[in-house]
Amino acid sequence: MDCVVTGGNVKVLAKAIHSLSRIGDELYLEPQEDGLTLRSVNSSRSAYACFLFSPLFFSRYAIPDGHGFRCKVAIKSVQAVFRSLATLEKTVEKCHIELDGEKSRLTFTLHCKHGLLKTHNLSFQDSESLQAVFDKDASTNVLKAQPRLLADTVLNFPPSLEEVTVTVSDERVWFRNYVDQDAEPSKAMLTELCLSADEFDHFAVKAQSSVTFCLKELRGLLVFAESTGLPISMYFDGPGSPVVLSVTDSVLDTNFVLATLSDESAVRQQNPKRAGTPLPPLDDFMNDELESYLIAMDTSMAPGPSFRSLLFGSVYPTGSPLSNLTVAGQKVLASDSEEDPEGV
């Protein structure tokens, strides 16, 4: 493998690495015909991210012949190459990525101003292919928004917040902080933000639903999307099936696949009025009737399992032949891969 990234694309690559570092500890690198893929998965396999940079992204792109080569490296060491994004933009003119099969070294060379060369030789391990199976086109709900909109939305929540619940109806989207079942409900502040469909570039909701997923990875993707100014698309079905966040452009294709909380009743129970249907009217702001809030009381004691798993495997019923494979193979399962011919 021998590729060269120049100019502003170096920063794009750097931001991608930083986004991936929010997911897992290892970076899976795979040069292919259709471009270079960088992937990562978290330790509980509930979040997966993939960046595909097409050959046009590079000013030179050459990959080894024959059977596919792939490897994994510690993401911290790659991050070290692109440590300071600010100086990177000013000083680095060119980044050269080269694979030395003989010495088993992955070499990043940064060509900086004044002829300064910075070379990082990273050791790597061979790895299996890491590939999440998902079909975002089959999703019932698709939202597309400018990164600014989502960034502004996320800003309303405290940085310590881990999960967010997104609820969609025909013309609105609600973002709420998810409060853990174990947490004392009388202590936690609940925040809810309502966005109208008008604010989205694309808004296609076929079924009202509500999904809860981790904010950390979304924040990571937002950093990337904001720096590149590319809109984020969000594909999802319902509780338990993964949400896919995707950023695409002519030379790159990015997908983040995140597990969602599978137990819908837990979400409902936690917040009976807010999560259920019918949804509150938008003009809630104008509606000051104290009485309208009284309905929400005293229904919170409904028994229900506080089962909570963010594993992809948990979307399969136990005993399904596929449920074991998530652990056995180096593959991440997501969505309804039973129908997918390219599945495991």
Candidates 194, 251, 322, 325: give the one binding other proteins (CB under 8 A). 194
> 49, 46, 62: which is closest to 19 by C-alpha?
49
Nearer to other proteins, 75 or 173 (CB): 173
Residue 183 in contact with other proteins, rule: CB under 8 A = no
Candidate ranges 154-162, 236-244, 310-318, 320-328; the one touching other proteins (CB under 8 A): 154-162
Residue 263, CA distances (Å) to 19, 206, 229, 241, 340 in order: 28, 21, 35, 11, 25
Query: Of 301-330, which residues contact other proteins (CB under 8 A)?
Result: none
Closest contact distance (angstroms) between CB of 265 and other proteins is 16
> 155, 255, 274: which is closest to 212 by C-alpha?
274
Number of residues that bind other proteins (CB under 8 A): 29
Residue 332 in contact with other proteins, rule: CB under 8 A = no
Q: Quote the CA–CA distance of 267 and 277 in Å, as a whole number.
A: 13
Residue type, 43: S
Question: What DSSP letter does each residue of 294-344 carry, written as one string?
Answer: HTTTT-TT----------GGGGSPTT-GGGGHHHHSS-EE-S-GGG-TT--
Candidate ranges 51-59, 87-95, 183-191, 333-341; the one touching other proteins (CB under 8 A): 183-191
Residue type, 225: A
Residue 90 in contact with other proteins, rule: CB under 8 A = no
> 254, 288, 307: which is closest to 36 by C-alpha?
254
Query: Of 158-177, which residues contact other proteins (CB under 8 A)?
Result: 158
Instruction: Give the burial class of 86: count Cβ atoms within 10 A of its Cβ; 0-12 exposed, 13-18 middle, 19 or more buried.
Output: exposed
Candidates 285, 318, 328, 341: give the one binding other proteins (CB under 8 A). 285
Nearer to other proteins, 117 or 190 (CB): 190
Candidates 156, 306, 320, 330: give the one binding other proteins (CB under 8 A). 156
Instruction: Give the burial class of 205: count Cβ atoms within 10 A of its Cβ; 0-12 exposed, 13-18 middle, 19 or more buried.
Output: middle
Candidates 102, 288, 339, 342: give the one binding other proteins (CB under 8 A). 288
Residue 282 in contact with other proteins, rule: CB under 8 A = yes
Residue 297 in contact with other proteins, rule: CB under 8 A = yes
Residue 271 in contact with other proteins, rule: CB under 8 A = yes
Nearer to other proteins, 160 or 277 (CB): 160
Residue 85 in contact with other proteins, rule: CB under 8 A = no
Nearer to other proteins, 105 or 273 (CB): 273
Nearer to other proteins, 90 or 187 (CB): 187
Angle, nearest 10°, between helix axes 215-228 and 147-155?
140
* CB distance 236 to 260 below 8 Å: yes
> 43, 40, 39: which is closest to 311 by C-alpha?
43
Residue 138 in contact with other proteins, rule: CB under 8 A = no
Candidates 44, 201, 293, 320: give the one binding other proteins (CB under 8 A). 293
**Applying CB under 8 A, which residues contact other proteins?**
155-156, 158, 185-196, 198-199, 271, 273, 282, 284-285, 288, 290, 293-294, 296-297, 300
